[in-house]
Amino acid sequence: MARIPVESASATEIVVEGKRLASFGGCNYLGLAHHTEVLDAVRAGLDRYGLSTTASRETTGDTMAHELLEAELAGFLQTQQCLVTPEGYSANLALGQALARDYRVAITDEKCHRSVSHAVAAAGMRVIAYPHLDTRAAGALAGEYVREGVVILTDGVFAADGSIAPAKALFDVLPKGRSLLVIDDCHGFCVLGRSGRGTADHHGLSGAGMPLDSRVLITTSLAKGLGCYGGALAGPSSIVQLAQDVASVYRGTTPAPPAIVEGARAALKIVQRDPILMQKLRANTDRLRRGLAKLGISLYPTPAPIFTFVTGDTASMDRIHRRLIDAGFLAPLIAYPGGPTDRYFRVTVNAMHTSEQIDGLLAAFAGAMDSEPTLKSDGENEAKPLKISDGQSGGRELIGPWDFSLSPTLTPRLPALPS
């Protein structure tokens, strides 16, 4: 995957090698990473706490910033308790270390983020992957292993293609007994649901006056929708408190810097106070989706602000990517597991993009694609529509964290910018 050495950035633009580009990459979905109130909160936090706690929260590294953010996140997500972790990956690891005490089998969507499958495998749970978005297969597997204690784990919004997990249906197929549903909501938090409460809220698992069911847990990053840094796991106090008590990945690490945590608190307040941000995000998502569809680009049917697609073979996409850079637009061409092909465009839009920037990107794509003499792909590289299995295919057991099926295929590093 390309490394792009960014020299400076705003919510919608970056400077790379002295060239200013309108950026349609990354995950700063509400533009809060550059919001003045968030930055002011970080500056005030630096003055109050310094750069780092320099110690684990369970020794001398706890702060009121962390304590308050946990309470505020729990209230926002309508859960009993929340634990803030150093980042999203460690939130899954901490939860896995807690769950492994009482639950022995993890049923994971085959396209889950690697942090999900790695976390439960590393904790010693048996891991079985079910076909992508296949609720019936997940339920059948969960029923088979419920006596051992079973957990269904899924991304809320899948980062590589923008598809959304059928969270309500997955909850409905949980067998009676020792079973839980875990939603890794890194790309749904502050994107879906009422006021950005995420995938569970989007599917009606929580609502006004209706807290999240105690058999559902949420993990998330604070770096995507909130534009800050850190992670969190939220759910019933019995499990969240257990993670706080036993998860070494939490207890043995220095937390996110308190100044950044103060920034996250400010960002969360903005999300709750300014619904127009969510409206802008959804309007921009719709605008870009309509424009890409008019260009004949096949897209997954999802309300998420993530667009993954191919426009032809690899050589053709390389040329299109180069022309977009020349025109002043970054629309990342990436190699990342879970997408439609080994390499594909992954374009994102945020609430701060202007109509002119979105229309400019669409015009640049149209021009770049028109320059390709034979744009039609050979079929192997075409994006395939999301397919729901019939539930008869069962699952595929993953051996452990060393199982190469849990890790992305190694690919040569791409140049930062086409030359």
128 lies in the same domain as 69: yes
Domains in the chain, number? 2
Share of the chain above pLDDT 90, in %: 83
Q: What is the pLDDT of residue 289?
A: 97
Shared-domain flag, residues 196 and 214 = yes
Convert the pLDDT of each residue in 316-352 to its tens digit.
Answer: 999 999 999 999 999 999 988 878 888 999 999 999 9
Angle, in degrees to the nearest 10, between helices 276-294 and 355-370: 20
What 3-state class would DSSP assign to 269?
A: helix
- 173 and 295 together in one domain: no
Distance in angstroms (rounded) separating the CA atoms of residues 310 and 317: 7
Amino acid identity, residue 320? Answer: I
Residue 51 makes CB contacts below 8 A (sequence gap 6+) with 257, 259
Selection from 323, 310, 312 nearest residue 417 by Cα: 323
In this structure, the answer to whether residues 170 and 319 fall within a common structural domain is no
Residue 66's domain is classified under what CATH number?
3.40.640.10
pLDDT in tens, 7-31: 999 999 999 999 999 999 999 999 9
pLDDT at residue 125 in the model: 97
The confidence score (pLDDT) of residue 394 equals: 64
For residue 380, name the pLDDT band (cuts at 50, 70, 90). Answer: very low
Q: Does residue 201 share a domain with residue 73?
A: yes
Residue 143 resides in a domain: yes
Over residues 224-235, mean pLDDT = 97
CATH number of the domain residue 346 falls in: 3.90.1150.10
Tell me: do 194 and 141 sit in the same domain.
yes
Question: Region 358-377: what's the mean pLDDT?
Answer: 86
Report the pLDDT averaged over residues 284-294.
97
Global confidence as pTM? 0.90
Q: pLDDT averaged over the chain?
A: 90
Q: How far is CA 41 from CA 29, 38, 46, 227, in A?
A: 19, 5, 9, 13
Assigned token pair, 65: 């910033």
Task: Give the highest mean pLDDT range of 287-301, 364-378, 391-405.
Answer: 287-301
pLDDT at residue 418 greater than cutoff 60: no
Query: 145 is in which domain, residue-wise?
Result: 36-273+389-400
Flag whether 349 is in a domain.
yes
Say yes or no: 132 and 107 in one domain.
yes
353 CB-near residues (< 8 Å, 6+ apart):
12, 22, 24, 284
> Do residue 202 and residue 122 come from a single domain?
yes
Distance of alpha carbon 326 from alpha carbon 22, whole angstroms: 11
- 122 and 86 inside one domain: yes
pLDDT at 377 over 90: no
Residues 191-196 have a mean pLDDT of 92
Distance CA 124, CA 97 (A): 8
Domain membership flag for residue 413: no
71 part of a folded domain: yes
Q: Look at residue 186 and tell me if it is in a domain.
A: yes
Per-residue confidence (pLDDT) for residue 5, from 0 to 100: 92
